[in-house]
Homo-oligomer: A and B are copies of this chain.
Amino acid sequence: MRRRRGIGSQSIVLSNPKKRNALSLAMLKSLQKDILHEAESQDLKVIVISAEGPVFSSGHDLKELTDEQGPDYHAEVFRTCSEVMMMIQNHPVPVIAMVNGLATAAGCQLVASCDIAVASDKSSFATPGVNIGLFCSTPGVALGRAVPRKVALEMLFTGEAMSAQEALLHGLLSRVVPEEQLEEETMRIARKVASLSRPVVSLGKAAFYRQLAQDLRTAYHLASQTMVDNLGLPDGQEGIKAFLQKRKPIWSHRVASSEDPGP
């Protein structure tokens, strides 16, 4: 389910609370479609993923993982899920998770995969698959890149939940606030991101993830080129000019000097 907000923020809401927002194959495909829907629109500046009900998401729909479906179906489920997670990282705009409740297994993976994650202090996080004989190996990909490895391994081996405060401490969350401030704080960050130049943010996001996987010298080579490219963007020059002239920048959101500005 998706909604638009005036500020350039797209809101995607997991809205199957009766099934604890399980990431069934249908739900994953719908999520994929929603995430891609406006990716190329110059008006889109930020995506916020939230959920209805007390469970953010309980992960895969276990009814889809029984013997009856068989390994080919299982493979499609995990491939689609992995594609959704990578799509978040590869998306041109920042994706924020707004979590108010329990996020488990692939639900926890979804939080770990977002660029920014804000949670209410009553939220908690777990990878409990091991309890039902299905080790959270794909959630471990995102979790193991978000928190120290001993933190990830304890969650994976014991299935025990981590509080929002612990998740903040260990890097799984960006911010924890009381439940009544969750929407306000998340939208404050979303508005901030939406006030920035889209091509500048896109370029920076892509470069950040790309350089992080490289050795230091290659990373600096890539990032230095990104800085030069960024300065070549119309908004790169506008921002610096505005700063030196002590005025607010006016973003064109154009990706090249010769390009037709967005609507």
With beta carbons under 8 angstroms apart, the residue of B62, B71, B174 that contacts A151 is B174
With beta carbons under 8 angstroms apart, the residue of B62, B65, B133, B203 that contacts A200 is B133
Q: Check A144–B86 contact: CB distance below 8 A.
A: no
How far apart sit A145 and B67, CA to CA, in the bound complex (Å)? 38
How far apart sit A239 and B134, CA to CA, in the bound complex (Å)? 7
A8 sits at the interface (CB 8 A): no
Q: Check B135–A207 contact: CB distance below 8 A.
A: yes
Question: In the assembled complex, which residues on chain B have CB atoms less than 8 Å from the CB atom of A154?
Answer: 116, 174-175, 189
Q: Check A137–B249 contact: CB distance below 8 A.
A: no
With beta carbons under 8 angstroms apart, the residue of B71, B140, B243 that contacts A62 is B243
Tell whether A204 pairs with B133 under 8 Å between CB atoms, given A150-B116, A220-B85.
Answer: no
Question: In the assembled complex, which residues on chain B have CB atoms less than 8 Å from the CB atom of A144?
Answer: 208, 211-212
Question: In the assembled complex, which residues on chain B have CB atoms less than 8 Å from the CB atom of A130?
Answer: 196-197, 200-201, 204
Q: Check A148–B170 contact: CB distance below 8 A.
A: yes
How far apart sit A129 and B112, CA to CA, in the bound complex (Å)? 25
A16 sits at the interface (CB 8 A): no
Question: In the assembled complex, which residues on chain B have CB atoms less than 8 Å from the CB atom of A207?
Answer: 135, 137, 140
Q: Check A193–B157 contact: CB distance below 8 A.
A: yes
Q: Check B193–A158 contact: CB distance below 8 A.
A: yes
Chain B residue at minimum C-beta to C-beta distance from A204: B135
Question: Distance in Å from the Cβ of A81 to the closest Cβ of chain B?
Answer: 8
A27 sits at the interface (CB 8 A): no
A41 sits at the interface (CB 8 A): no
Dominant secondary structure of chain A at its interface with chain B: helix
Question: Distance in Å from the Cβ of A158 to the closest Cβ of chain B?
Answer: 5
Q: Check B169–A133 contact: CB distance below 8 A.
A: no
Q: Check B62–A223 contact: CB distance below 8 A.
A: no
Question: Distance in Å from the Cβ of A219 to the closest Cβ of chain B?
Answer: 5
Contact with B along A172-185 (1 / 0, CB 8 A): 11110000000000
A42 sits at the interface (CB 8 A): no
Question: In the assembled complex, which residues on chain B have CB atoms less than 8 Å from the CB atom of A215?
Answer: 213
How far apart sit A194 and B102, CA to CA, in the bound complex (Å)? 26
Tell whether A223 pairs with B138 under 8 Å between CB atoms, given A62-B244, A208-B144.
Answer: yes
8 additional A-B pairs beyond A130-B200, A141-B219, A149-B171, beta carbons within 8 Å, are A82-B220, A116-B157, A130-B197, A133-B237, A137-B211, A153-B174, A154-B175, A156-B204
Q: 12 A–B contact pairs at CB < 8 A?
A: A62-B243, A85-B220, A116-B153, A116-B157, A130-B200, A133-B196, A133-B200, A133-B239, A138-B224, A138-B226, A141-B223, A213-B216
